[in-house]
Amino acid sequence: MPIKGAPTQRTPRVQRALRLATGTALCLAISYGLALPIPFISPVLAVLLLASLNRPLPFKAGLILALAAMLTTGVGLLLIPILRYYPITGVLLIGVSLFLAFGFGLRGGNTLIMTFLIIGLTMISSAGVADFDLAMMVIGALVMGLILAVIVVAFSHWLFPDPANAPSPPAASALPAQEVGRVALRATLIVIPAFLLALIDPASYLPIILKAVSLGQQSSTTTARNAAHELLGSTFMGGLLAIMFWCALSLFVHLWMFFLWMLLFGLLLARKLYALSPTRQTPGFWLNSLITLIILLGQSVQDSLAGKDVYTAFVVRMGLFIALTLYALLMVHLLDRRQRNPGVTQLTE
């Protein structure tokens, strides 16, 4: 029986929800406070780290991860000459590389390494085709964002540690070997259009690649039956939350309010993600809603600082996100139907 006035021990899910919200909000505030290049990169990385790791990342492992990020994103620099002088060959080479990268992740490889490799193949190479200095800036933004995310994640684990007797999370179910090729192809086809858009105008379409990578990873855990709800629903939810966040922030624009609103929205989504407030949606739905919120919100803040029409830019960007999501749904349905057809043919024979 709990004693009145005595502190009660929080459950692991409560600690993880608090950790996710606090870490995301801190990364967001520090990134914008220090005026880091592409400041919304760091909170996105913090979300991925906090959602995938229930133990603090050791310092050595953090340095290795930062080095791996530099090497994997640097791969994109090697592809710049090929894209400039042999564009068709370059696009085909990147398509094959994306297929191999997604396959690496689906076979149990490190998800973060896979993500950085995909970003290097797409964001870095497309930025470098337009301007080599822009590509170097993107690499610097990724590395600085990762270092900040690792530091904030370690602080969040110290602030809200898991109980000593907390059970380890169940291992993710392995994808059957015969399914890896099809799912990797599906994810690759989802990312390629965003990459082609970024080749046309890197400054405008680089954030679209982050959304495409998120959709590609999310599509690997969904089926044609629930794809519309999972992919399109999380995109709309992220857009709706971004509108609500922007309206709330407009009441009093300040960095501390930016932090506090992110903390509040992060707590609301973390409660759903960790089933403290159970819903019918999957954890992936809420995780991708949070990532979409951060990308859309970060771009709106950048538009505001640049003196652009924030609302017009948001409508255009949201339209692109929805179009990309609809295209991802089409790929899911086409490839899943192709997989089912051989079985149907055998039954009819």
Per-residue pLDDT tens for 236-281? 999 999 999 999 999 988 889 999 999 999 999 999 998 888 888 8
Per-residue pLDDT tens for 7-16? 455 788 888 9
Per-residue pLDDT tens for 55-113? 777 777 777 777 877 787 788 888 889 988 898 999 999 999 999 988 888 887 778 88
Q: Quote the pTM value.
A: 0.85
pLDDT at 268: 94
pLDDT at 1: 42
By percentage, how much of the chain surpasses pLDDT 90? 22
pLDDT at 340: 57
182 pLDDT band, cuts 50/70/90, is confident
Is pLDDT of 226 > 70?
A: no
Dihedral, CA atoms, 65, 301, 268, 259, nearest 10 degrees? 80
Is pLDDT of 321 > 80?
A: yes
pLDDT at 29: 94
pLDDT at 60: 75
| Average pLDDT, rounded, for the chain | 82
Is pLDDT of 344 > 60?
A: no
Q: What are phi and psi of 166, to 5 degrees?
A: -65, 130
pLDDT at 96: 92
Is pLDDT of 330 > 60?
A: yes
Is pLDDT of 49 > 70?
A: yes
pLDDT at 227: 63
- What's the full length of the chain, in residues? 349
Domain residue limits, the chain: 12-163+177-341
Per-residue pLDDT tens for 289-313? 999 999 999 888 888 887 788 888 8
By percentage, how much of the chain surpasses pLDDT 70? 87
Stronger pLDDT, 27 or 214, i.e. the higher one:
27
